[in-house]
Structure 1
Amino acid sequence: MVKVSVILAVYNEEKYIKKAIESVLNQTLDDFELIIVDDGSTDATSEIINSFDDSRIKTIFQTNQGPGASRNNALDIASGDYIAFLDGDDWYSENLLEIAYGEASRNNTDLTFFQMINYNNGEVYENDWFSLKSFDDSFKDRVFEPSQTPGSIFDLSVGVCQKIYNREFLRSIDARFPEGIFFEDMPFFYYVYLKAKRISIIKRHLYYRRKHDESITHVVDEKFFDTVRAGQVLMDIFIENGWYDAYKFDLLAYKINGPRFALRDMPLKCKPHMFDLIKKDYEEIKMGPYYWDFLDQLGPIKKKFFLDVLSSRDYEEFKTSSES
């Protein structure tokens, strides 16, 4: 057993994967395993992975299954006391594992947040979300529960790479990523976060998050169709775990906003299909037990969107009604 299992799931990351791997191998804490999952890459990613000769690296080469399945496959073989994640286009500061593991193990946390910093073409900059600005100084050097979260839990960064997780805790709650969709981080995070009893934060920028044109969240395109399915999975998680009533006001707004903003921002060619996915989801809601909650709990803008979608036959009709 090692102190930390680092999970690096990649697909066609030939431009950046070398730096990501080196940032793990050069950590000041060296008692780790690096589990690299190549999810059916068609570029030179697999060759670059195989160029590293280090006993701490474990590799999984698989046909393309998506990010959720890739991370689940790595979790199945992970042996570390704690689990950390890294995206193939990002990299760690050299002391991330030492600092994050030290904090988490010292306080026996279920998960511990740390700060991320953005990198874009040589420019390094912060933002409030990834810098954990919602947590004031009262959260420094202490352990807390989800009920003590400042503001809404839906204001937190859901990115899986921004935390280190106790492996036994993840296994005890059977934490798994939804498979077959993008935005798998979001349902995973809320399930894990609300199951946790011991959480802490580290106000240090330990993770470099690269912004570039090919990154999943940079371009709003067909991948954002999955915001509908991810929202459905999230609703199911809250309902099945008895969290729905306590969080429904913010939960329903969050569920509406993801696809709403995606529909607004994606290219015109994607909008009709995105609208159809949203409409199908809303029609199912209308036939279910939570329809009146949507009408009662949504603010005016989100409620209008919800009703406009339901009353429109297609995207063109919706566009006309939403502009009126």
Structure 2
Amino acid sequence: MVKVSVILTAFNEEKFIGKAIESILNQTFDDLELIVVNDGSTDGTSDIINGFDDERIKLISHENSGPGASRNRALKEVRGEYVMYLDGDDWYSEDAIEIAYREAKSKDTDFTFYQMINYDDKSGKIYENDWFNLNIFDESFEDRVFKACDYDGSIFDMSVGVCQKIYNTSFLRRIDAKFPEGIFFEDMPFFYYVLLKADRISIIKRHLYYRRKHDASITHVVDEKFLDTVPAGQELMRIFIENGWYDAYKFDLLAYKINGPRFALRDIEENYKVPLYELIKKDYLSIKSSKYYQDFLDNLGPVKKKFFLDIIKSKDYDDFMTLNQAKS
């Protein structure tokens, strides 16, 4: 057994994957394995991966299946006591794995957050933000172990990104943690399942991960991937309901479920607005016929409630836009 396994998934990352791999192989901590999943790349990604001669690398290649399926496949192969994730266009600081492992091991955590820092690929500038700085956690959370219920604010203000944590492998396997497959935004339901199953969490207020912002970044271009905000939200609801967490979190959960597709519909490229509207409408009509409909009416704030009802009432996207732009 090695101490840390790093799972790196890549689809057409020939511009960036070399740096990502080097950032792992050149760590100050070397008791690790790197599991690279080449998710059906059609560019030079495979050649770059194969150009590295290091016995710590294990390569998995399969047809394009998306990040969820790739991560699930890799997790089955993990031999490490702990596991971390890296996207193919990002990289670690040189001491990231050593710092993360020592924290997780010393506190025996189920998982540990660490800070990310942003890198703008066009300008070359590095910048921080509150979300990836974990600023929702005040000083009382530093150098301690806690559970989700110890946090007084909304858990839906936490950073959901899978790459911002180090996980105890035995814990993930014990709770049978899996990413939803076939959709983007798979991090989100995975995170909340893991979060609410965890008994021991800690944070590291140090920037260990460099997150690259570029033209093809999933959160930079609001394109067809954002259609998956609907199934991701459905999966989140299922997780909370099936695990008995719904009643305790429903006020914030329902707002969170509405806001993802609501903001996506506002910002998505024009040719995807109607398809996204239709997905949202189908989802909301199923909610209307369920026992949870009254909860949405009772718990949503006025803006989100109007959006919810306007979608249900509308005949089509144009009708929705007319209704939604009208004052209550």
1:103 maps onto 2:103 in alignment = yes
User: Would you say the 8 A contact 1:134–1:150 is kept in 2?
Assistant: no
Q: What does 1:50-65 correspond to in 2, within 5 Å?
A: 50-65=50-65
TM-score w.r.t. the length of structure 1 is 0.99
| Distance in structure 2 (CA, Å) of the matches to 1:149 and 1:165 | 20
Residue 17 of structure 1 and its aligned partner are, at CA, apart by 0.2
Q: Which runs of 5 or more residues in structure 2 are unaligned?
A: none
> Residue 72 of structure 1 corresponds to which residue in structure 2?
72
Cα deviation digits, residues 73-111 of structure 1 (max 9, x gap): 000000100010000000000000000000000110000
| Distance in structure 1 (CA, Å) of the matches to 2:269 and 2:79 | 43
| Distance in structure 2 (CA, Å) of the matches to 1:217 and 1:323 | 26
> Residue 231 of structure 2 corresponds to which residue in structure 1?
229
Counterpart pick for 1:166 among 156, 165, 168: 168
> Residue 35 of structure 1 corresponds to which residue in structure 2?
35
1:19 maps onto 2:27 in alignment = no
AA matched with 2:296: F
Q: What SS does structure 1 have at the residue aligned with 2:129?
A: coil
> Residue 181 of structure 1 corresponds to which residue in structure 2?
183
| Distance in structure 2 (CA, Å) of the matches to 1:173 and 1:162 | 20
1:204 maps onto 2:206 in alignment = yes
> Residue 85 of structure 1 corresponds to which residue in structure 2?
85
Counterpart pick for 1:279 among 278, 281, 285: 281
Residue 140 of structure 1 and its aligned partner are, at CA, apart by 1.0
AA matched with 1:109: T
Q: What SS does structure 1 have at the residue aligned with 2:86?
A: strand
| Distance in structure 1 (CA, Å) of the matches to 2:98 and 2:271 | 47
Residue 253 of structure 1 and its aligned partner are, at CA, apart by 0.2
> Residue 125 of structure 1 corresponds to which residue in structure 2?
127
| Distance in structure 2 (CA, Å) of the matches to 1:285 and 1:10 | 36
Residue 262 of structure 1 and its aligned partner are, at CA, apart by 0.2
Q: What SS does structure 2 have at the residue aligned with 1:119?
A: strand
AA matched with 1:304: K
Cα deviation digits, residues 281-320 of structure 1 (max 9, x gap): 0000001110000000000000000000000011011011
| Distance in structure 2 (CA, Å) of the matches to 1:21 and 1:266 | 32
Counterpart pick for 2:260 among 258, 267, 275: 258
Cα deviation digits, residues 38-94 of structure 1 (max 9, x gap): 000000000000000000000001001110000000000001000100000000000
Cα deviation digits, residues 181-231 of structure 1 (max 9, x gap): 000000000000000000000000010000011011111110000000000
Residue 145 of structure 1 and its aligned partner are, at CA, apart by 0.8
Residue 150 of structure 1 and its aligned partner are, at CA, apart by 3.9
| Distance in structure 2 (CA, Å) of the matches to 1:156 and 1:212 | 23
| Distance in structure 1 (CA, Å) of the matches to 2:253 and 2:65 | 29
Q: How many residues are matched?
A: 324
Q: What SS does structure 2 have at the residue aligned with 1:58?
A: strand
Residue 11 of structure 1 and its aligned partner are, at CA, apart by 0.2
Residue 165 of structure 1 and its aligned partner are, at CA, apart by 0.2
Q: What SS does structure 2 have at the residue aligned with 1:37?
A: strand
User: Would you say the 8 A contact 1:135–1:150 is kept in 2?
Assistant: no
| Distance in structure 1 (CA, Å) of the matches to 2:237 and 2:151 | 20
> Residue 247 of structure 1 corresponds to which residue in structure 2?
249
Q: Which runs of 5 or more residues in structure 1 are unaligned?
A: none
| Distance in structure 2 (CA, Å) of the matches to 1:300 and 1:135 | 29
1:145 maps onto 2:127 in alignment = no
1:45 maps onto 2:45 in alignment = yes
Q: What SS does structure 1 have at the residue aligned with 2:28?
A: coil
Residue 138 of structure 1 and its aligned partner are, at CA, apart by 0.8
> Residue 272 of structure 2 corresponds to which residue in structure 1?
270
Residue 269 of structure 1 and its aligned partner are, at CA, apart by 1.0
Residue 267 of structure 1 and its aligned partner are, at CA, apart by 1.5
User: Would you say the 8 A contact 1:84–1:163 is kept in 2?
Assistant: yes
Q: What SS does structure 2 have at the residue aligned with 1:28?
A: coil
TM-score w.r.t. the length of structure 2 is 0.98
| Distance in structure 1 (CA, Å) of the matches to 2:215 and 2:252 | 31
Cα deviation digits, residues 155-200 of structure 1 (max 9, x gap): 0000000000000000000000000000000000000000000000
